[in-house]
């Protein structure tokens, strides 16, 4: 329990520094449920063991002490101050999802799995659209094509070091002379950058011919040299002009020894090693778990989903008073659903798998739950029936 308390304190820090208000709210609820549920469980199953309850409380207090400095900081407080405005943005986005569904699919059956980004692009009433990307092919050569729109950073994590000089090389071509490709190299966790080396390359159309560009990048302002705790660094590319297409191929980032730090720079393996981030994320997901299910699977799918959750919840509730695993699953799934009120969650494959895997464990581990007296009489009746069949 001491080890679990330490892990819970680390988890508190991990959740709080995401600065996700839905995640922070879910963590608070999970903490209260953990304190109430496990105190009751320890009290009943360990014959009123006060030491176990005290250890549990110490672990949760430690988690609170870790979380409080983050929550009370200026950035967290500024995030909390915008909750009311964000609620208006979210509700308008959910209404937009309902309107799009009526055009992109059948409300009864839904629009299909993974269809929301494309449906938003074609049917949304928003004044701007996210930038597009695609993998194009000419003869045997595959390359990346970046369209214009709201900023989309096509990026890859690269193992650069502070205080070095790197040479970026890439082949580009553009549909018009006024094209510009921005290539930042940033210390960046997921979306928000810390330190960046910005470079923008002007590109002429050159009659549709490929052009070779070379850029020297300094990392002098990056994290402390020789530190064991370096921030992740991402090489990104984005097209600033909405009316221009830019093709990119043969991307390499060379260090002093001539080693290429970019993988799949010729895009022959498509999206392998690459991903993207965007400053305008509403176009990519519904931001509510239940509306997400409704959009993809319609009212029939949503009703089935709610019934599935109800079956798992009732199974776990019946067992939570005497089964630590059932209580843990109940708290985990409850916390997940709380975050799901403000995020889609299952539009990401790993989280999708994790959620339904835990849900399956909850359903198959419970079996048919009967009161103690009915269960014993049911077992006796089955045994008598079996014995009678054997004798006959």
Q: Look at the block and give the residue holding tokens 């014993």.
A: 376
Give the length of the chain: 392
Measured distance between the N- and C-terminal CA atoms of the chain, rounded to whole angstroms: 55
Claim to verify: residue 139 and residue 264 sit in the same structural domain: yes
Q: Which residues contact 110 (CB under 8 A, 6 or more apart)?
A: 101, 294, 295, 296, 297, 298, 301
Burial pattern 39-58, b for ≥16 Cβ within 10 A else e, equals bebbeeeeeeeeebbebbee
Is the pTM for the entire model greater than 0.95?
A: no
CA 216 vs CA 159, 164, 264, 325: distances in Å: 16, 10, 20, 55
SS (H, E, C) 145-176: EECCCECEEEEEECCCCCCCEEEEEEEEEECC
Claim to verify: residue 205 and residue 171 sit in the same structural domain: yes
284 DSSP 8-state letter: G
Residue 121 domain boundaries: 82-128+281-368
> Are residues 259 and 164 in contact, defined by beta-carbon separation less than 8 angstroms?
no
pLDDT at position 71:
85
Domain-located, residue 289: yes
Tokens, residue 38: 């496990």
Tokens, residue 241: 């002009």
Cα-based angle 181, 184, 190 (whole degrees, multiple of 5)? 120
Claim to verify: residue 269 and residue 153 sit in the same structural domain: yes
Burial pattern 312-322, b for ≥16 Cβ within 10 A else e, equals bbebbeebbee
Domain-located, residue 385: no
237's enclosing H/E stretch is strand 233-239
Domain-located, residue 224: yes
* Rounded-to-integer distance, Cα 383 and Cα 378, Å: 9
> Are residues 217 and 178 in contact, defined by beta-carbon separation less than 8 angstroms?
no
* Rounded-to-integer distance, Cα 159 and Cα 199, Å: 19
Claim to verify: residue 101 and residue 147 sit in the same structural domain: no
> Are residues 252 and 169 in contact, defined by beta-carbon separation less than 8 angstroms?
yes
Residue where a domain terminates, one of 279, 300, 321: 279
Claim to verify: residue 74 and residue 153 sit in the same structural domain: no
Claim to verify: residue 147 and residue 91 sit in the same structural domain: no
CA 199 vs CA 114, 212, 236: distances in Å: 34, 15, 10
Q: Which residues contact 96 (CB under 8 A, 6 or more apart)?
A: 120, 124, 125, 126
pLDDT at position 42:
79
Interhelix angle for 289-319 vs 324-340, to 10°?
160
Claim to verify: residue 264 and residue 177 sit in the same structural domain: yes
Domain-located, residue 21: yes
pLDDT at position 253:
97
Q: Give the three-state DSSP class for 26.
A: helix
100's enclosing H/E stretch is helix 83-104
Claim to verify: residue 137 and residue 239 sit in the same structural domain: yes
> Are residues 250 and 170 in contact, defined by beta-carbon separation less than 8 angstroms?
yes
Total number of domains in the chain: 3
Domain-located, residue 19: yes
**Sign of the C-alpha dihedral, residues 263, 267, 268, 270?**
positive
Per-residue pLDDT for the chain (392 aa), expressed as one digit of tens each?
Answer: 778 878 888 888 999 988 888 999 999 999 989 888 888 887 777 666 677 778 778 878 888 888 888 888 888 888 888 888 889 999 999 999 999 999 998 999 999 999 999 999 999 988 888 888 999 999 889 999 999 888 889 999 999 988 899 999 999 999 888 899 999 999 988 777 889 999 998 998 888 899 999 999 999 889 876 777 888 999 999 998 888 999 999 999 999 999 999 999 999 999 999 999 888 889 999 999 999 999 999 999 999 999 999 999 999 998 988 888 999 999 999 999 999 999 999 988 899 999 999 999 988 876 444 445 444 455 455 555 555 554 54
Claim to verify: residue 74 and residue 170 sit in the same structural domain: no
pLDDT at position 40:
84
Domain-located, residue 203: yes
Claim to verify: residue 71 and residue 122 sit in the same structural domain: no
Domain-located, residue 381: no
**Sign of the C-alpha dihedral, residues 32, 33, 34, 36?**
positive
Domain-located, residue 228: yes
State CA 37 to chain mean position distance.
Answer: 28
Calculate Rg over the CA atoms of the chain: 27
Claim to verify: residue 23 and residue 151 sit in the same structural domain: no
Claim to verify: residue 244 and residue 196 sit in the same structural domain: yes
């Amino acid at each position: 329990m001491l080890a679990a308390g330490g892990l819970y304190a680390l988890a508190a820090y991990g959740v709080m520094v995401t600065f996700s208000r839905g995640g922070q709210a879910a963590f608070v609820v999970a903490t209260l449920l953990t304190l109430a549920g496990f105190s009751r469980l320890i009290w009943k199953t360990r014959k009123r063991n006060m030491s176990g309850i005290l250890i549990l409380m110490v672990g949760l207090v430690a988690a609170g002490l870790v979380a409080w400095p983050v929550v009370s900081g200026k950035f967290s407080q500024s995030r909390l101050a915008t909750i009311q405005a964000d609620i208006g943005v979210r509700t308008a986005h959910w209404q937009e999802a309902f309107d799009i569904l009526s055009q992109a699919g059948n409300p009864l059956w839904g629009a299909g799995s993974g269809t929301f980004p494309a449906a938003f692009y074609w049917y949304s009433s928003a004044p701007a659209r996210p930038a597009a990307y695609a993998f194009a092919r000419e003869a045997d050569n595959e390359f990346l094509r970046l369209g214009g729109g709201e900023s989309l950073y096509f990026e890859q994590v690269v193992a650069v070091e502070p205080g070095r000089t790197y040479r970026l090389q890439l082949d580009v071509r553009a549909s018009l002379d006024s094209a510009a490709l921005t290539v930042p190299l940033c210390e960046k966790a997921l979306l928000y950058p810390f330190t960046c080396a910005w470079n923008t390359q002007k590109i002429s159309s050159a009659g549709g011919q490929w052009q070779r560009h070379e850029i020297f990048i300094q990392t002098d302002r990056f994290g402390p040299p020789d530190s064991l705790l370096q921030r992740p660094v991402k090489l990104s590319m984005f097209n600033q002009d909405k009316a221009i297409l830019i093709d990119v191929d043969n991307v390499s980032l060379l260090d002093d020894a001539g080693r290429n730090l970019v993988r799949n720079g010729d895009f022959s393996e498509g999206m392998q090693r690459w991903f993207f981030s965007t400053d305008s994320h509403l176009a990519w997901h519904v931001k509510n778990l239940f509306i997400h299910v409704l959009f993809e699977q319609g009212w029939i799918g949503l009703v089935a989903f709610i019934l599935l959750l109800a079956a798992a919840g009732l199974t776990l509730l019946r067992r939570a008073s005497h089964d630590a695993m059932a209580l843990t699953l109940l708290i985990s799934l409850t916390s997940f659903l709380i975050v799901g009120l403000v995020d889609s969650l299952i539009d990401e494959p790993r989280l999708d798998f994790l959620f339904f895997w835990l849900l399956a464990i909850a359903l198959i581990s419970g079996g048919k739950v009967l009161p103690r007296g009915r269960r014993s009489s049911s077992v006796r009746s089955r045994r008598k029936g079996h014995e009678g069949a054997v004798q006959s």
